[in-house]
Structure 1
Amino acid sequence: MNRRVWLMTLKPGCEAEYKARHDLIWPELLDLMCKNGIRQLTIHRHGLLLIAVQDRDTPFVTTEPDPVQWRWWAAMEPLMQCHPDTRPIQIEVEDVFTFHADPMPKEP
């Protein structure tokens, strides 16, 4: 499993609308994520700070985004800090520690 974590920032006053849009996320965007090997994407919010965690089957490769992705970014651009082309500003976060508990041994 390959994990990416990044930070993004909401514009002030857009917290509720950002959540509402994700509550109604487009099925074609979910299909695209599945097609691209994304197993799980979780976005956490602390104030205006968004923390995204993505688990995927394959390593992340930078490619030209799909038209569905561009449409989603354009729809979200009024709510977030973005580049001029509507891509959200994403700051990659370094993984410095991971803990995985071993499964409990079976009783003999």
Structure 2
Amino acid sequence: MIRKASIMFVNRDSYDEYKRRHDEIWPEMAAELKAHGAHNYSIFLDKETGRLFAYVEIEDEEKWEYMSQTAICKKWWAYMEPLMDTNADNSPVSINLEEVFYLE
């Protein structure tokens, strides 16, 4: 399993809506994430800054990268765009983090 972590940013006035949309994640989005090797996916919010910390375990980097090309992912990004800092393609602005310590 490959562990990945990143930081994204949610608008301060959108915390509740961001959580609600994830609580009600579309079944087809959840299925596609799993089909692309995602496990133990968590997102945490720092309410002071709007910073999101995302953690996911994936099976394969190439398989995971292909997730961003799926129609359901692009639809989800468009749905979430009003709530977050996003790039021109609606993907969330995301900072990948480098693992520097792990204790099993």
Structure 1 residue 84 corresponds to structure 2 residue 103: no
RMSD over aligned Cα, in angstroms? Answer: 1.0
What is the DSSP-based 3-state SS (H/G/I as helix, E as strand, rest coil) of the residue aligned with 2:3?
Answer: strand
| Matching residue of 2:54 | 52
Deviation at 1:39, TM superposition (A): 1.6
What is the DSSP-based 3-state SS (H/G/I as helix, E as strand, rest coil) of the residue aligned with 1:73?
Answer: helix
Output the CA distance in 2 between the equivalents of 1:23 and 1:69. Answer: 17
Higher helix share: 2
Which of 76, 79, 82 lines up with 1:75 in the alignment?
A: 79
Deviation at 1:2, TM superposition (A): 0.6
Structure 1's consecutive aligned runs of 4 or more residues displaced over 3 angstroms after TM superposition are none
| Matching residue of 2:18 | 18
| Matching residue of 1:65 | 69
**Amino acid paired to 2:34:** C
What is the DSSP-based 3-state SS (H/G/I as helix, E as strand, rest coil) of the residue aligned with 1:15?
Answer: helix
Structure 2 unmatched runs, 5+: none
| Matching residue of 1:27 | 27
Structure 1 residue 5 corresponds to structure 2 residue 9: no
Deviation at 1:95, TM superposition (A): 0.6
Structure 1 unmatched runs, 5+: 101-108
- Aligned-pair identity in percent equals 31
Deviation at 1:10, TM superposition (A): 0.6
Structure of larger gyration radius: 1
